[in-house]
Structure 1
Amino acid sequence: MDRKLEIIQCARELIEERGLAKTSVAAIAERMNVARTLFYHYFPSKEDLVAAVLDTYVDEFIASLKEWNSQRVEGDIEGALDTIVALIRDQLFDNDNAHKPFRRALATHENASLYLRFINRVADASATYIVETTVADFGRLHKVRIDHVYETFYMLILGIVGYMRQHPEASDDVLKDIIAQTLHFEREREQSHHTA
């Protein structure tokens, strides 16, 4: 592993252990047993390093999103809704997930700014990926019934994650309804209700 990646990994571990405020350049240098000048060789500021750490988590979330997208079954909107809600719960909220310390760190008041930066990066990367892949696939077969597609997905992701963070007891069905209504999809259970 190169030195830059080692610094990012060390900072990630310290943020998870101590929180953002207690993760200083001096603490990173001490943990790595290197001079602080090495840190500044790779990162002009702590803020630049925090951005790099957040990018590692965002990259992991996008990798999960890519896996979800590759397993979608064309035309199975209900299945896609089931699996996307499960993915969000697992990656961002499941306490048994490997990222539990990071999520715990994000939940503290001290790290509110870290949470905001993280969720905005997740929303941007996810919306960009979904528009370029999932929406493009859907658009080849159906009319996309929303305007401002990127912006809608960005706001949907921010809203769903924020809502789930504030209301962890929210049912999957409510979350799927919110997603489907925002994107103007009719859920299968609604279709059978209308035809009955």
Structure 2
Amino acid sequence: MKSHSESFSAWSSLLSVFSFPLIVIGLVVGYNEIADLATSPDPELTFVHPSSVAYKVMNRSAKTAEDVLVSFGIFDIDSTSQQPLPLASVNYDYVNKHSETGPFRLLGDFGQVQHRYLGIVYIGCRGGERLRTYWIYVTHGNGDESFFAERGKKDVFEVDIAKAAKDPVYLQTLIPKNRRKPIGP
């Protein structure tokens, strides 16, 4: 009888030696799965090439952003037309976590050299943390005056394009200089 209890004790010790690490591994994997479910993707934009503006879609979050949509409401403020440029929204199937894609030309074939452009660009994705919106101001062909700024909750939604074309103080009111980011190389 003593030999059975000794072999049972040996098997019990062996089982506890292997089961403890397996339980720890299971807990770590389970925690990572739950943390992944709790994380939301949060795509954002950055703008590059100041004289011929392009944008990049970035995903700094720990989750892949799916069905990323970028939409544009950009006006040529030196044109007589008060209509936005006919820029189509762009849908990206996905942007991997901690990565970026682009650059993509912002104005496409619609940009005229030395014309000024003012507008809003939106980006969001399925299950995303939030919809991000950006002000953008570009002098096409002259990068010295080009900038963007993420819009805040207190920013106005109605913009007087004719006033923005003529009044730099109005533009300063819309997008204060301390929030402006120059469009980089």
Q: TM-score, normalised by structure 1?
A: 0.24
Normalised by the length of structure 2, the TM-score is 0.25
Determine which structure has the larger strand proportion and give its number.
Answer: 2
Structure number, greater radius of gyration: 2
* More helix as a share of residues: 1
